[in-house]
Amino acid sequence: MPDRQSLIDRAIALSWFTIAYNLLEGVVSVYFGLSDDSMALAGFGADSFIEVFSAALVLWRFRSETGGACVPVERERRATLGIGVLFVVLAAATAAGAALQLRAGGHPQTTVPGLAISAISLGFMFFLWRAKLRLAAALDSATVLKDAACSLACIKLSVILLLGSLLFMTSPALWWSDAAAAALLAVFIGLEGAQTIRAATRADFVGGCGCA
């Protein structure tokens, strides 16, 4: 079993990888989403930036623990709460975009970018999710666990985006499928955010650190 410092170093390295990958994925997804009028793809790209901020919170959480220092529970609580708030903001923005697209009767010009990006994302996010789950258990950290939840949410979003893109590709008459997929994404993200906020604001929150 690696010592705690090795696990912290691994969590920091994984966070930097998450930031780099999701910055690239986010820029590409938002670009093609806006260019092709795909609200689901644009919303998916926005979620990638949420992943970036979530990973940044993990960095903030563990940077002060390098060298063996113990981190107060309140630092873990604030990082976990911050991730929950990011989820809720994204859910609201995605839901608003989906509603506007449905009202305007808009649909994407093509689903090829959505299919390609969601397929690639499934592979990367599954790797990140599993790695973060193992680290969360080893470090006993609520922050890493919720960051893993971000990656799991991205897996769900990838599946929904993939299915929505396939629906529109096979039957263009289902023009509403892209907006419906975006609305479904908003529900998943919002529920995860609410659950995270509730956990972080509980009086008995311990965050996996024995410091007080």
- Contacting residues for 114 by C-beta, under 8 A, at least 6 apart: 32, 38, 40, 41, 44, 108, 161, 162, 164, 165
- What pLDDT sits at residue 57? 81
- What pLDDT sits at residue 158? 85
- DSSP of 16-82, one letter per residue? HHHHHHHHHHHHHHHHHHHHTT-HHHHHHHHHHHHHHHHHHHHHHHHHTTTTSPPPPHHHHHHHHHH
Domain ranges for the chain: 4-200
- What pLDDT sits at residue 64? 67
The torsion angle over the Cα atoms of residues 146, 142, 16 and 118, rounded to 10 degrees, is -20
Predicted model pTM: 0.76
- What pLDDT sits at residue 210? 31
Q: What is the pLDDT along the chain (212 residues), one digit of tens a residue?
A: 677 788 888 889 999 999 999 999 999 999 988 887 777 788 788 878 888 888 888 888 787 665 555 556 777 788 778 888 988 987 887 788 778 778 777 666 667 888 888 899 998 999 999 999 999 889 888 778 878 888 888 888 788 778 877 887 788 777 787 778 778 878 888 888 898 899 888 887 765 433 23
- What pLDDT sits at residue 208? 44
Instruction: Give the integer Cα–Cα distance in Å for 88 and 146.
Output: 14
